[in-house]
Amino acid sequence: MEIYNKALEAQKKSEHLQERRQRLSALLHSEARQYETELAQQKGHQGGYHRIPLEELKSVNYELKRHEEDNQCRERELQLYHQWRMKQPSIREVSVIL
């Protein structure tokens, strides 16, 4: 009887291991398919989540350059004004009095 019980337990253990292997195999194949799908999607997009048309980028770049040039022009005008102001004797006298 004891031998029979041990054989029965060994058989149950073997069946349980077989079922576990099948479940793990199915899980592995499922994850492998999911991985392949995600990989294919990433290759298809290749960082395309934030794709901006080239013309739009050129336009933005042009506007930034124009804005920077305007700022530089204003700075040059302001420097010229300060130089002119420092060279004017009447303005220097007024600024010294104040």
Residues 7 and 28 in one domain: yes
Residues 81 and 97 in one domain: yes
Q: Which domain range does residue 84 map to?
A: 55-98
Return the ∠ at Cα 37 (arms to 50 and 40), rounded to 5°. 55
What confidence tens digit (pLDDT) does each residue in 11-33 have?
999 999 999 999 999 999 999 99
**Hey, which bits of 42-93 come out as E strands?**
none
What confidence tens digit (pLDDT) does each residue in 66-89 have?
999 999 999 999 999 999 888 887
What's the structural domain count of the chain?
2
Q: Compute the distance between CA of residue 32 and CA of residue 45 in angstroms, rounded to an integer.
A: 20
- Where do we find the tokens 């199915």? 26
Torsional sign, CA 75, 78, 82, 83: positive
Residues 83 and 40 in one domain: no
Residues 43 and 70 in one domain: no
pTM score of the predicted model: 0.42
